[in-house]
């Protein structure tokens, strides 16, 4: 006798269904999951208990200015803040001009950044009266840039050039030129050896990311060139640079480079920045080359059939698809570059990591039982995590928008 047909199983969704499938699917998985959850809960609760009741945050709080701008003159702190205002204003314009699609990623990053800036402004209102109005101006300009771009869409044509000009203007504000105490017509010169802390970390990170991207693309294209001189030069450069760690090239730029410049000795910051850019560009070139090799040959043939010149086919057809396929690798390189800036400590530059170590050796810090090294490292971990996580979120959003990893 035939049995009646059974109804189809009900699909289980939600958190409980996911836990049942992945954490408690059988006895052994359930035991491992329970033990792991107990260990994680114990670790998190112990850390929170120490951070709230046992950690000494007073010394970290008292040295926030030192970790932010190091020895940059306090009376000139408005100049790095002016650079922040320019960037936030242009960020607001970029979000205001962005449309659906990838524009949602820019707006999401803008919302995160404005939330971060708003939090700092709230802290400055009560704890740092000397800069409270500067941070209020940052928030106002961020909002103003957004609504200005919404009201004047034609600004989209000028936005790329404004971003390029912003780097030079920001550098002018940070460095200063043409002025001194007796000459108010210019900005007083601030030697780069006074830069440090978060300012220096962002300077190395942003400059390195911006410059290594086009240089890496040029090296990747040069490696595929049919001209032997260009091809083998790019291969030689990429393999030599990738054959040694970043710290080696930092030492080379810091100690050996002046020997080849005939007595000319660039600032230590410039030497280290050049080493970071050249190092990152070699890895960027390999990422881009992987994207170019993954592209089907038919794309090049289709571009040729359309009558496009080699330059137009590379610019409009091949390179956009190649970059699209290696977005995770490129963002991973940017995140690694942001974290690797802490290596400049070894060549005598004072980024956030170096300044934090300096704070830990202050006499007032040594008087505290156990020191404040743990507090400083937690502060730095939160700082690096925030920006690295934000970059990874933007990468994931871009992949979803472009349909990467989906069929």
For the chain, the structural domain boundaries read: 73-190, 192-407
Tokens 């971003």 correspond to 163
Write down the pLDDT at residue 81.
92
Write down the pLDDT at residue 12.
62
For residue 190, which of 130, 90, 269 has the smallest C-alpha distance? 269
Q: Kindly provide the residue ranges of all beta strands, DSSP E only, lying in 203-277, ordered along the sequence.
A: none
Other beta carbons within 10 angstroms of residue 209's beta carbon come to 20
For residue 354, which of 341, 368, 364, 369 has the smallest C-alpha distance? 341
How far apart (Å, rounded) are the C-alpha atoms in residues 34 and 194?
52
Indicate the fold that domain 192-407 takes in CATH. MetI-like fold (1.10.3720)
- What is the full per-residue pLDDT of the chain (407 aa) written as tens digits? 567 776 666 566 677 778 888 888 888 888 999 999 999 999 999 989 988 888 888 888 888 888 988 888 888 889 999 999 999 999 999 998 887 767 788 888 899 999 999 999 998 888 888 888 999 999 999 999 999 998 988 888 889 899 999 988 988 888 876 555 454 546 788 888 888 889 999 999 999 999 999 999 999 999 988 888 999 999 999 999 999 999 999 988 888 877 777 777 778 888 899 999 999 999 999 999 988 888 888 888 888 888 888 888 888 888 888 888 888 889 999 999 999 999 998 888 888 999 998 998 888 888 887 788 899 999 999 999 999 999 898 888 888 877 665 54
Write down the pLDDT at residue 185.
47
For residue 340, which of 272, 268, 258 has the smallest C-alpha distance? 272
Q: What's the per-residue H, E or C state across the chain?
A: CCCCCCCCCCCCCCHHHHHHHHCCCCHHHHHHHHHHHHHHHHHHHHHHHHHHHHCCCHHHHHCHHHHHHCCCCHHHCHHHHHHHHHHHHHHHHHHHHCCCCCHHHHHHHHHHHHHHHHHHHHHHHHHCHHHHHHHHHHHHHHHHHHHHHHHCHHHHHCHHHHHHHHHHHHHHHHHCCEEECCECCCEECCCHHHCCEHHHHHHHHHHHHHHHHHHHHHHHHHHCCCCHHHHHHHHHHHHHHHCCCHHHHHHHHHHHHHHHCCCCCCCHHHHHHHHHHHHHHHHHHHHHHHHHHHCCHHHHHHHHHCCCCHHHHHHHHHHHHHHHHCHHHHHHHHHHHHHHHHHHHHHCCCEHHHHHHHHHCCHHHHCCCCCCHHHHHHHHHHHHHHHHHHHHHHHHHHHHHHCCCCC
Q: What are phi and psi of 320, to 5 degrees?
A: -60, -40
Write down the pLDDT at residue 179.
52
The tokens describing 164, both together, are: 């390029």
Read off the pTM: 0.85
Rg (Cα) of the chain, in Å, rounded?
A: 26
| Cα angle for residues 191, 68, 395 (degrees, 5° grid) | 110
Write down the pLDDT at residue 258.
77
């Amino acid at each position: 006798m035939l049995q009646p047909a059974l109804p189809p199983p009900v699909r289980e969704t939600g958190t409980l269904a996911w836990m049942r499938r992945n954490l408690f699917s059988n006895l052994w998985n359930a035991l491992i999951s329970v033990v792991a959850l107990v260990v994680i809960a114990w670790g998190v609760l112990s850390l929170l208990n120490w951070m709230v009741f046992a950690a000494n945050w007073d010394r970290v709080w008292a040295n926030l200015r030192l970790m932010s701008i190091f020895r940059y003159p306090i009376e000139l702190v408005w100049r790095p803040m002016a650079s922040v205002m320019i960037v936030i204003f242009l960020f607001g314009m970029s979000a205001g001009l962005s449309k659906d699609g990838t524009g949602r990623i820019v707006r999401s990053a803008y919302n995160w950044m404005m939330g971060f800036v708003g939090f700092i402004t709230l802290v400055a209102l009560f704890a740092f009266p000397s800069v409270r109005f500067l941070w209020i101006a940052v928030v106002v300009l961020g909002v103003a840039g957004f609504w200005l771009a919404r009201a004047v869409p034609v600004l989209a044509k000028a936005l790329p050039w404004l971003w390029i000009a912003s780097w030079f203007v920001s550098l002018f504000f940070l460095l200063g030129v043409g002025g001194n105490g007796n000459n108010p017509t210019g900005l007083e010169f601030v030697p780069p050896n006074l830069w440090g802390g978060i300012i220096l970390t962002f300077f190395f990170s942003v400059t390195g990311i911006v410059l290594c991207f086009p240089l890496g693309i040029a090296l990747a294209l040069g490696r595929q060139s049919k001209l032997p001189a260009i091809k083998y030069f790019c291969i030689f450069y990429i393999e030599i640079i990738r054959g040694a760690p970043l710290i080696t090239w930092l030492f080379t730029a810091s100690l050996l480079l002046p020997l080849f410049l005939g007595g000319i000795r660039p600032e230590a910051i410039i030497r280290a920045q050049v080493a970071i850019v050249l190092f990152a560009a070699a890895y960027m070139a390999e990422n881009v080359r992987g994207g170019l090799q993954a592209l089907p040959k038919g794309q090049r043939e289709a571009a040729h059939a359309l009558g496009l010149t080699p330059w137009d086919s590379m610019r409009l057809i091949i390179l956009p698809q190649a970059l699209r396929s290696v977005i995770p690798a490129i963002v991973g390189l940017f995140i690694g570059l942001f974290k690797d800036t802490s290596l400049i400590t070894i060549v005598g530059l004072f980024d956030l990591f170096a300044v934090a170590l300096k704070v830990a050796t202050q006499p007032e810090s040594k008087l505290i039982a156990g020191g404040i090294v743990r507090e400083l490292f937690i502060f730095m971990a939160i700082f690096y995590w925030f920006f690295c996580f934000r970059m990874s979120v933007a990468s994931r959003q871009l992949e979803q928008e472009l349909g990467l990893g989906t069929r």
